[in-house]
Amino acid sequence: MAVERLLKDEATEEKGDRARMASFIGAMAIADLVKTTLGPKGMDKILQSTGRGHNVTVTNDGATILKSLHIDNPAAKVLVDISKVQDDEVGDGTTSVVVLAGELLREAEKLTMAKIHPMTIIAGYRMAAECARNALLQKAMDNKQDPEKFKSDLMKIAMTTLSSKILAQDKEYFAQLAVDAVMRLKGSTNLEAIQIIKKAGGSLKDSFLDEGFILDKKIGIGQPKRIENAKILVANTAMDTDKVKIYGARVRVDSMARVAQIERAEKEKMKEKVQKIIGHGINCFVNRQLIYNYPEELFADAGILAIEHADFDGIERLALVTGGEIASTFDNPESVKLGHCKLIEEIMIGEDKLIHFSGVEMGQACTIVLRGASSHMLDEAERSLHDALCVLSQTVNDSRVLLGGGWPEMVMAKEVDELARRTPGKRSHAIEAFSRALQSIPTIIADNAGLDSAELISQLRAEHHKETTNSGIDVISGGVGDMEKLGISESFKVKQAVLLSATEAAEMILRVDEIITCAPRKREDRM
Amino acid sequence: MALAFDEYGRPFIILKEQEQKSRLRGLDAQKANISAGRAVARILRTSLGPKGMDKMLQSPDGDVVITNDGATILEQMDVDNQIAKLMVELSRSQDYEIGDGTTGVVVMAGALLEQAEKLLERGIHPIRVAEGYEVASRIAVDHLERIAHKFDFSEANIEPLVQTCMTTLSSKIVNRCKRALAEIAVKAVLAVADLERKDVNLDLIKVEGKVGGKLEDTELIYGIVVDKDMSHPQMPKRIEDAKIAILTCPFEPPKPKTKHKVDIDTVEKFQTLREQEQKYFDDMVQKCKDVGATLVICQWGFDDEANHLLMHRNLPAVRWVGGVELELIAIATGGRIVPRFQELTPEKLGRAGLVREKSFGTTKDRMLYIEQCANSKAVTIFIRGGNKMMIEETKRSLHDALCVARNLIRNNSIVYGGGSAEISCSIAVEAAADRYPGVEQYAIRSFADALDSIPLALAENSGLQPIDTLTAVKSQQVKENNPYCGIDCNDVGTTDMQEQNVFETLIGKQQQILLATQVVKMILKIDDVIAPSEY
């Protein structure tokens, strides 16, 4: 007797090989999608949003591309998720992780075709991943002791990261910028302290790092444009009308005269508040909320620079930089910590006026002003710089570095290959496949650069068979080169994260033998 | 689908709108039900055992769940068939009661149904089958009791507990580091266990996950981890010897429940109101300070002014902490949850040795760790992993492991896994069958066959020849009189589960057999299915 429908209508169920096929294909499609962006000669993608305005984004960043896609295939979603996590956790390598996972699954597909059970493949992959990690650990270099060398390591890493992005033209300049910014953080990974301001106009080369803090606001009319030895009060308080916060209170009046009285009282109250603020002995007041004309005028009278409507991040950062605290009550002027800076002035970038705080107490924070021809360009530049900053700040904590240009992959592949030869049983096929998947990364880098990948990889393999070698792909000259001399480095932490999460994701997808898709929730038709 | 007709051939109307309802009766109904139940079991069958596969489920909202846990699969499956829903319930009740073996129970029920179908075809009445099953299940449960082992553990010797948890975890994706996770689970359970009463309140174990890092970074924290940060960015990030005020009232002017209005009609009133307001905030903060609190944890939000005052008085605070977490914090720190500022007293404060904020990754995610609590009876397991699905699956797996550890503390009897217990029961039931006269004998034999289906599925999933393996193990059990022979799923080389250290809890196994039998009996007793037909 045939089973009646077990699941709800529209729900679908795929079993066994079909399910595995569906997830392999989905995952590989995603990997192929971002594959062409890998490496220094990788290409960019244009993404157009479906929202209003059809905003266009041009990017090379794997995580950004995948985030914007609407995907229905569940296996593909797993890959999108790992790329997102990679972005959150280490900031770079978002493309590599997806490509590696895709390649692992591609190899796994071949193995399942040869009737090897997925569990055997997983067992092999696990052994291989462990072995590859150990290989990386052995080869990682740590220059923490030697500040000079460490700094040059950082510089190299930043350049390598940037070389695949839009900033590749001026990578040296931006690498220097990023390294300087990160060095200022003194080991903290709090990237919030680095502010990036984008201003269209000028060329990328005009971007600069500023030691102080730049607030994208205008100075009120009639207030001083330049203050030396500023004492700053950073506040988060209502400066429009001070609402009565007691629940249920309302004003009820019976005559016009009364209205005037209340209004005067209100004004008095505001004036008192302003007086209290002025009583702190400040000459600059920054508020997160609006400042109405009346108090603004009062401030101007007192010769105080009042800045309204600074965004929340701006306020926090400003408090951080100037060493003041964010105040909301003003009754005890003596105990409120004020912020200090040497000079506040209005500066012009392009056509816009900005407020520049220089000579701040805490040296940690800084601002990077990006200039560029178009907003798309600026967005992409910001993403690229963000990647570089993330990698650098992670490297400052974990100072182990590796060479780049496909060198780590080849090192891992060699070790894994040797493991395969030692391992008896069907698992060795899977281990071999893992090594092939690792080698496909330099292959793709070479392919993207329009080089003869088969030739290059075989040369590389031969080079790596020698005991110590620094060979990798030199995309610029199109041959095999010494990565140490070329100064191409990568962070150990990024590579390790790529390796582990790609293996984890591949394992997860491999274990699946059934996909059940529930009926999509009915949405109200908004047409 | 008329039921009865009068002498002119017109149907009597018995059911409301009976023309529109579909109806299945008698043997047809039973067979349809059985095949639905088996279809559910078939889906789960491949997830059984250490080499079992996972299922990928896509929810109506497009979220992806990848899991190996029977209860979760069935819950997410969006089942429409009534009998299939019964199976879902079955797995859920195993989950609530025992926490582990949710897949096994469904596979068992499916096998029982399959056997029942054969008996029905031979013309045996369903009730007789049900009765036979009942008898057989009792034999099996008694037999389990006989072959069960008790083992001793103490806080110093947790090895047996860890081994049992490892058996549970070995079928999950996390088996890569099952040893570490099993140890975490056992330590967590022991930390909150009441060994005298032999009970464990699993609510005291909080499982928190954060993507990033790797599975090996998962850790057990003797304290609470809250996914929140300090309310003011400039508050201290590290507090030692914290005295914690746990509040469920907002730092805002009071809002009386009764409807009221405060009318302002004169300037004086306006001013007094203003002063009142300021005083409110001041009082609130002052009260917290007066009782000696060094950290305020609040369920609700803070007004900006209050926030600044707190900051000003050097009183760090955390806002928007969930109710459950608040309770856990209260339990862990030995504090009391205080609903009003007026009721705050020094005795009601909780104590913790260290409170610190920790940030993760490149985004500004921060978590608050409350450690070295006065009363460490609440612990947190903090899971790290490569992606969201991995974390979710790890949470589920750990839940299973926690339940197993709890069950062992309640009752320290174990049986051996790898299908050995089922095979042994099957032999016992088979032998007992001959002693029962009547039709039930057939049903009891069928029950024995159904018990074989679990080791069969295990062998099949492990890529072994199912029938060869099962018969070999069975004959070994009888020959050597050793009930601990099972399926060698991991290709270790021995079939003796005692050597392989594969344990399961006795109550888990017993419950599996009892629950499966009960549901099957229920399904067999249905002989009429009336459903509104589709339009």
What is the spatial distance between Cα B523 and Cα B112, in angstroms, rounded to a whole number?
11
DSSP labels, B270-297? HHHHHHHHHHHHHHHHHHHHHTT-SEEE
pLDDT band at A1 (very low <50, low <70, confident <90, very high): very low
Report CA-CA distances (Å) from A115 to A25, A108, A128, B455: 18, 11, 20, 23
Residues 376-395 of A with CB under 8 A from B: 390, 393-394
Q: Which two tokens stand for residue A387?
A: 């990647």
Chain B interface includes A328 (CB < 8 A): yes
Distance separating alpha carbons of residues B257 and A108, to the nearest angstrom: 64
- Cβ of residue B402 closer than 8 Å to a chain A Cβ: no
pLDDT tens string A138-147: 888 887 788 8
Within a 10 A sphere around the Cβ of A527, how many other Cβ atoms?
Answer: 3
User: Cβ contact (<8 Å) for B261 and A244?
Assistant: no
Q: Which residue of A has its CA nearest to B117?
A: A1
CA B229 to CA B360: how far, in whole Å?
A: 12
- In this prediction, residue B486 carries a pLDDT of 87
Q: Judge whether residue A2 has pLDDT over 50.
A: no
Do B256 and A512 make contact, defined as CB atoms within 8 angstroms? Answer: no
Q: Assess whether pLDDT exceeds 70 at residue A247.
A: no
Q: Which of A75, A249, A513 sits opposite B264 (nearest CB)?
A: A249
CB A406 within 8 A of CB A445: yes
pLDDT digits (tens, 9 = 90+) for A302-341: 778 788 776 666 677 777 777 777 777 777 766 777 777 8
pLDDT at B378 over 60: yes
Residues B136-177 have pLDDT tens digits of 999 999 999 999 888 777 777 888 888 888 888 888 888 778
Q: Return the closest-CA partner of residue B380 out of B192, B517, B166.
A: B192
Identity of the residue numbered A166: I
| Chain A from 93 to 152: CB within 8 A of any B CB | 117-120, 126
Indicate whether A436 pLDDT > 90.
yes
The verdict on B283 touching A (C-beta cutoff 8 Å) is no
Place of tokens 């392919």: A447
Could you tell me if B22 and B533 are in contact, meaning their C-beta atoms sit under 8 angstroms apart? yes
User: Of the residues B103, B333, B495, B517, which is catalytic?
Assistant: B103
Which stretches of B291-382 are DSSP H helices? 304-312, 323-333
Alpha-carbon span B59 to B81, nearest angstrom: 18
Mutate to test the interface with B, among A6, A270, A503 (most CBs of B within 10 A): A6
Crossing angle of helices B126-147/B102-121, nearest 10°? 140
Alpha-carbon gap, residue A475 to A457, rounded angstroms = 13
What is the number of residues in chain A? 527
Report phi then psi at A197, rounded to 5. -110, 130
Q: Pick from B34, B149, B211, B66: which is nearest to A511 by CA?
A: B66
Q: Which of B393, B346, B327 has its CA nearest to residue B73?
A: B393
Residues 6+ apart with CB under 8 A from B518: none
Q: Which of A189, A245, A329 is the closest to B308 by Cβ? A: A329
**Residue A504: CA atoms inside 13 Å, Cβ hemisphere, count?**
35
pLDDT at position A37 = 87
Given an 8 Å threshold on Cβ–Cβ distance, is B214 in contact with A508?
no
Cβ–Cβ below 8 Å for A326 and B463: no
Chain Cα centroid distance, residue B311: 41
Which residue, among B116, B182, B194, has the nearest Cα to B155 in the 3D structure? Answer: B194
Catalogue the active-site residues of A.
Answer: 61, 94-95, 387
Q: Do B265 and A77 touch (CB under 8 A)?
A: no
Give the pLDDT band of residue A150 (cuts 50, 70, 90): confident
Nearest-CA distance A492 → chain B (Å): 14
Q: How many other CB atoms sit within 10 Å of the CB of residue A183?
A: 15
B77/A contact by beta carbon, under 8 A: yes
Q: Provide the 3-class DSSP secondary structure of residue B381.
A: strand
Does residue B482 surpass a pLDDT of 80? Answer: yes
Residues in B touching A516 (Cβ below 8 Å)? 55-58, 73, 76-78
pLDDT at A187: 65
Please name the residue that has the structure tokens 């480095």: A489
Q: How far apart are CA B81 and CA B92, in angstroms?
A: 16
Q: Following DSSP, what letter does each residue of A41-83 receive, concatenated?
A: TPPPEEEE-SSTT--EEEE--HHHHHHT-----HHHHHHHHHH
Tell me what pLDDT residue B199 has.
81
Q: What is the pLDDT of residue A67?
A: 85
Contact residues on chain A for B386, CB-CB shorter than 8 A: 82, 85, 500-501, 504-505
Q: How much is the pTM?
A: 0.84
Does the beta carbon of B251 lie under 8 angstroms from any beta carbon of chain A?
A: no
Q: Give, rounded to a whole angstrom, the gap between the first and last alpha carbons of chain B.
A: 16
